[in-house]
Structures are given as structure tokens and as C-alpha cells.
Amino acid sequence: MTTNIVDKDGNSIGASDATVPSDRHFRNAWSLSGSTITEDLTASKLIFKDKVREARTPLLAAEDVIYMKALEDADTDAQAASVKKKKALRDAPAASAISSADTIAKLKAAWDTSTLGDSPYA
């Protein structure tokens, strides 16, 4: 039985016949060229942005709780800090480091740990 690898465009090759990237983080961005599989950077950026959105969802929910508590306490400093943090979370997928990355390594390094926490690409 032969295991096939299918790239993002539906092209397939036998796994034993292919040169495959060692990293599977961007598996859905793989592109087949002959017997070599590479990572399509444009598709990888979309996957990366989706991962950012996934990571920020619980952080935004937690920040909503913090904001509501600050609102109840009439703590304008805490409210302002919360608004700033939520803006940073909302803006995270549009970070210039993501759009300017020209390699997969630079894309992985674009994860903003100060906003999103630990990188899934470390």
C-alpha cells in the first residue's frame, strides 16, 4: 500500500518518492513541483493569520471580563489599558511582520509573544 501526499492544489505523489519539508506547520500550504514539496508562502501567511485569530479568541474574551470589571469599578485607567490590549489583539493578524515575511522562518518569527503568548512555532 502506497501513501500519497496531496498538495494544496490537489496534486499527489507517493510519499516515498517525494522530498517533504520536515516541518508540518504549514502542511495545507504545500505545493508539489516535480518530486519536491515546498511551502507556498502566500498560503502559509493565510494559515498563520488563522492561527493568530485562533490564539486571540480566548484572550479577547478574557479581556472583555477585565474591561467589564473596570467599568463596574469606574477604573478609567484599567478601562484604557484593556481597550489598548484588545486593539492590539484585533490588529495582530495585520502585523507588518507577517506581510513582509519573505521566508517561512521569518513568518514563524512574526508571532508576537507579547500580545498572543507562546508561539506554536517555537
pLDDT digits (tens, 9 = 90+) for 46-101: 999 999 999 999 999 999 999 999 999 999 999 999 999 999 999 999 999 999 99
Distance CA 20, CA 38 (A): 7
Distance, CA of 76 to CA of 39 (rounded, Å) = 47
The 8 Å CB, 24+ separation contacts for 52-56 are: 52/92, 52/93, 52/98, 52/111, 52/116, 53/93, 55/116, 55/117, 55/120, 56/89, 56/90, 56/92, 56/115, 56/116
pLDDT at residue 35 in the model: 85
For residue 21, give the C-alpha cell.
519539508
Question: Would you place residue 1 in the very low, low, confident or very high pLDDT band (cuts 50, 70, 90)?
Answer: low
DSSP character for 38?
E
Range in 16-20, 82-86, 111-115 the model is least confident about: 16-20
